[in-house]
Chain A
Amino acid sequence: GESVGLHLPTLSVQEGDNSIINCAYSNSASDYFIWYKQESGKGPQFIIDIRSNMDKRQGQRVTVLLNKTVKHLSLQIAATQPGDSAVYFCAENKGSARQLTFGSGTQLTVLP
């Protein structure tokens, strides 16, 4: 029979532009959120995290915004570079649970 594959949301940006990747999380009890970058054939690489008592956190070229009202998380990458091309996952940690719950991921492609 026909097999149906899952397709990741995709985002294409020009080199040098800013990128915004969005994520909706499910559990209002989640109190810790992380963004990971995964390149093909590699493990997830930590980018930045934020706790629920914060709305914004900045790193080197990256900013994470947290809107608890609508349970939305975003990752902003400034001056996107070719090396930023990867799949980006948001993950949440729910209260006392130890495991991370991952979103489905967004494929970022940086165009020359």
Chain B
Amino acid sequence: NAGVMQNPRHLVRRRGQEARLRCSPMKGHSHVYWYRQLPEEGLKFMVYLQKENIIDESGMPKERFSAEFPKEGPSILRIQQVVRGDSAAYFCASSSVPQETQYFGPGTRLLVL
């Protein structure tokens, strides 16, 4: 009964590099959500995806950030040309249907040097 899986758990990048964060939803879940958490803050919504579709990206920065959820394989959150302000914990959640309980993964902690 695997839960939501994320990798890597920790990622260190230098300014200007690319960061790729992966999320595999719970078995049977086809709805994936990405959130970002800064220290001592709550989680902030970034994007909501279903297989092969971005449904809501209202929380995504307009530049450098992109997300996908292909037909096969995990969902990917990609951050191009990372800056120090991108340092945060990035969490993925999944649900079986929209507006039902979202279950979270362990997160990827990104540190930009």
| Given A32-B99, A98-B31, A98-B99, A43 contacting B104 (CB threshold 8 A) | yes
Let me know if B48 and A98 touch, CB within 8 A: yes
The 8 A CB mask of A70-112 against B (1 = contact, 0 = none) is 0000000000000000000101010001111111110000000
Let me know if B106 and A98 touch, CB within 8 A: no
Let me know if A98 and B91 touch, CB within 8 A: no
Q: Closest B-chain residue to A51, C-beta based?
A: B99
| Given A5-B40, A7-B40, A8-B40, A99 contacting B103 (CB threshold 8 A) | no
Residue B59 is within 8 A (CB to CB) of chain A in the complex: yes
* Total of A-B residue pairs, C-beta within 8 Å: 65
The 8 A CB mask of A39-73 against B (1 = contact, 0 = none) is 00011111001000000000000000000000000
A104 partner residues in chain B, CB cutoff 8 A: 41-42
Q: How many A residues face the partner with a CB closer than 8 A?
A: 25
Let me know if B56 and A98 touch, CB within 8 A: yes
Separation of A49 and B101 alpha carbons in the complex (Å)? 8
Let me know if A34 and B101 touch, CB within 8 A: yes
20 new A-B contacts at CB < 8 Å, known A45-B104, A97-B56, A100-B45 = A6-B41, A32-B99, A34-B102, A36-B104, A42-B106, A42-B107, A44-B104, A46-B103, A46-B104, A49-B101, A89-B43, A91-B42, A91-B43, A98-B31, A98-B99, A99-B45, A99-B48, A100-B43, A100-B93, A102-B35
Residues of chain A whose beta carbon lies under 8 Å from any beta carbon of chain B: 5-8, 32, 34, 36, 42-46, 49, 89, 91, 93, 97-105
Residues of chain B whose beta carbon lies under 8 Å from any beta carbon of chain A: 4, 6, 31, 33, 35, 39-45, 48, 55-56, 58-59, 91, 93, 98-99, 101-107
